[in-house]
Amino acid sequence: MTKITSHMVAMIIAGGLTVLLLDHFSAHRQIIWELAYSHDESGQAISGSKQALIDAVRNGHAVRIYWSGRTVEHLADSFFLTILDGEVFAQIEAIQGQNPSLDPPSIEFRDNLWRAIFSTNGDRALKWFVQR
């Protein structure tokens, strides 16, 4: 049978407090999203750097995509990223389709799932944010 000394108890308590403090500070770490790159509908750069976005993807940073439609604006987290021939492709998870209305402003569900792959080579104007 191992005898537990008061020194051992103090070490266990100190270790536990260290873990609790580390958990507390890491849980309250501020998450910062930075605009890495934006482009127009034809894929022409507006701001930032496509290479900075590629580097962020290669370094494992989370990526969010912003785009706007005729009357709505959207922001979605990517869950699968691909780099192909200098372009970034981002899949977002399937979402329930929406039907926006302006009078009064409201959104209702549609009966379909909507999914998308966004890319830096055009199709629509996008802003690409990375988590730092």
Secondary structure (DSSP) of the chain: -PPPPHHHHHHHHHHHHHHHHHHHHHHTPPP-EEEEEEE-TT--EEEE-HHHHHHHHHTT--EEEEEE-SS-EEEEEEEEEEEETTEEEEEEEEEEEEEEEETTEEEEEEEEEEEEEEETTSSS-EEEEEE-
In tens digits, the chain (132 residues) has pLDDT values of 556 666 654 555 555 545 444 555 556 678 899 999 999 999 999 999 999 999 999 999 999 999 998 899 999 999 999 999 999 999 999 999 999 999 999 999 999 999 999 999 998 999 999 998
Cβ contacts of 20 within 8 Å, gap of 6 or more: none
> What's the pTM value of the predicted model, to 2 decimals?
0.76
